[in-house]
């Protein structure tokens, strides 16, 4: 195991004891010698993981999918979509594809990041006009080499859809709808509902939303679900919509995302095997890394109570074996301890090797901090081309 300084950890001297509570490999790890049949293991592991993730049961009914606008931009056909889940504000999405495309195309569900910016969702990785919000310009520069990667992938012959997921963008919690709690200066956050695009108001809202996360997570636990469960539900509904389109080849669908989008890939790719090719960027380590070193650097969207007893974190994504999977990490990413990122890569390699599918897993490490830059995008897009075209 990895610790930052002997017996020290983010929970003090209790760290090493806490890590000893779970066996390595955990009970439902495919690495465990007791598991020899891939299908039997996967069925049991999926059942337990789905039980603990606890996706809420909702009556979907008619989602009222609406085309709000359609136009061309930078060689792409852009569709602005909206649908209504049984709870919360309408979901807004952007769909991109080559403007002259015909027939059914391979498709990718683009999963936007967290980035501490909950005011924005789909806009973080798309571009639909020459005018971008200055905060999006900065975000894409810092995280994506200044590119809207969803657009870049669509130009290669894909249908790419990016939707706002739970508590982001159009699905965000509005300050004016919250009752009973305030946080000092963030009380002025109600201005974000009145003048929503003002950068200062967005900054205030994002600070407020960060403080609201632990409240949301506790409330979801009380409702019998988890944050990963709700996010997975919304991502699966978006996947339903994407796969049902006549211009999409539902046998050639992938997903990809950085950071919070990588986290969403880990759960969606691991638990929904309609995803034929999954690329997780900037979100892969071990439960021990979170326990000892880094839980405070990650959103509540990460954690499923009791799941570490049964699977290590990378093995959630490993539930998809032998389907093609790529994990992309950065050596200087301060959100994780490098030895634990390396261990996670080793775990996934062992899972794929035992399943006889070593050629379908790729784990890559890049120089630099937390990002999905042009070099990484190029490798990711080639991986999609290999398995989806």
Predicted pLDDT at 183: 63
Contacts of range 29-35, beta carbons closer than 8 Å, 24 or more positions apart: 29/310, 29/311, 29/312, 29/315, 30/315, 30/318, 30/321, 30/351, 30/354, 30/355, 31/315, 31/347, 31/350, 31/351, 31/354
Asked if residue 198 is part of any domain, the answer here is no
Task: Count how many domains the chain has.
Answer: 1
In a domain, 182, yes or no: no
pLDDT of residue 58: 87
- pLDDT at res. 191: 54
Does 236 map to a domain?
A: yes
CB distance 103 to 130 below 8 Å: no
Ranges of residues in the chain with a pLDDT under 50 are: 1-4, 188-190
> Does residue 178 lie in a domain region?
no
pLDDT confidence of residue 160: 98
Radius of gyration (C-alpha) of the chain in whole angstroms: 20
**Is 291 part of a structural domain of the chain?**
yes
Q: What token pair was written down for 341?
A: 């990122």
- Are 361 and 348 in contact by the 8 Å Cβ rule? The answer is yes
pLDDT for the residue numbered 185: 52
| CATH number of the structural domain spanning residue 38 | 3.40.50.1820
Q: Is residue 373 part of a domain?
A: yes
Domain range for 363 is: 12-58+228-388
- Asked if residue 315 belongs to a domain, the reply is yes
Q: How far apart are CA 189 and CA 198, in angstroms?
A: 12
Residue 275 is assigned to a structural domain of this protein: yes
pTM comes to 0.95
Question: What are the pLDDT digits (tens) for 177-187?
Answer: 888 776 655 55
């Amino acid at each position: 195991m990895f610790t930052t300084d002997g017996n020290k950890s983010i929970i003090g001297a209790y760290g090493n004891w806490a890590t000893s509570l779970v066996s390595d490999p955990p009970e439902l790890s495919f690495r465990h010698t007791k598991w020899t049949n891939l299908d039997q293991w996967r069925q049991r592991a999926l059942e337990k993981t789905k039980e603990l993730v606890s996706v809420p049961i909702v009556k979907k009914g008619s989602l009222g999918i609406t085309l709000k606008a359609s136009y061309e931009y930078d060689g792409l056909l852009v569709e602005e979509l909206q649908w209504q889940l049984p709870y919360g504000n309408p979901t807004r999405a952007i769909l991109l594809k080559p403007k002259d495309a015909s027939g059914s195309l391979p498709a990718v569900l683009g999963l936007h990041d967290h980035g501490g910016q909950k005011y924005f969702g789909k806009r973080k990785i798309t571009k639909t006009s020459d005018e971008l919000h200055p905060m999006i310009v900065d975000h894409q520069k810092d995280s994506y080499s200044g590119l809207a990667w969803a657009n870049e992938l669509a130009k290669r012959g894909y249908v790419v859809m990016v939707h706002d997921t739970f508590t982001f963008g159009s699905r965000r919690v509005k300050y004016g709808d919250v009752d009973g709690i305030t946080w000092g200066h963030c009380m002025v956050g109600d201005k974000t509902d009145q003048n929503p695009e003002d950068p200062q108001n967005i900054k205030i809202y994002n600070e407020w939303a960060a403080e609201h996360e632990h409240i949301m997570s506790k409330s979801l636990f009380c409702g019998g679900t988890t944050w990963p469960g709700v996010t997975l539900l919304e991502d699966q509904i978006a996947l339903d919509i994407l796969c049902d389109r006549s211009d999409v080849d539902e046998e050639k669908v992938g997903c990809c995302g950085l950071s919070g989008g990588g986290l969403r890939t880990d759960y969606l790719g691991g638990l929904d095997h309609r995803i034929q090719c999954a690329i997780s960027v900037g979100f892969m380590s071990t439960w021990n890394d979170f326990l000892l070193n880094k839980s405070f650097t990650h959103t509540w969207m990460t954690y499923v109570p009791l799941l570490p007893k049964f699977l290590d974190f990378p093995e959630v994504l490993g539930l998809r074996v032998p389907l093609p999977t790529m994990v992309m990490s950065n050596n200087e990413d301060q959100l994780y301890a490098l030895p634990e990122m390396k261990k996670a890569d080793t775990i996934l390699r062992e899972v794929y090797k035992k399943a006889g599918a070593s050629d379908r897993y790729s784990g890559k490490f890049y120089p630099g901090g937390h990002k999905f830059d042009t070099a990484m995008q190029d490798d990711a897009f080639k991986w999609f081309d290999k398995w989806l075209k």
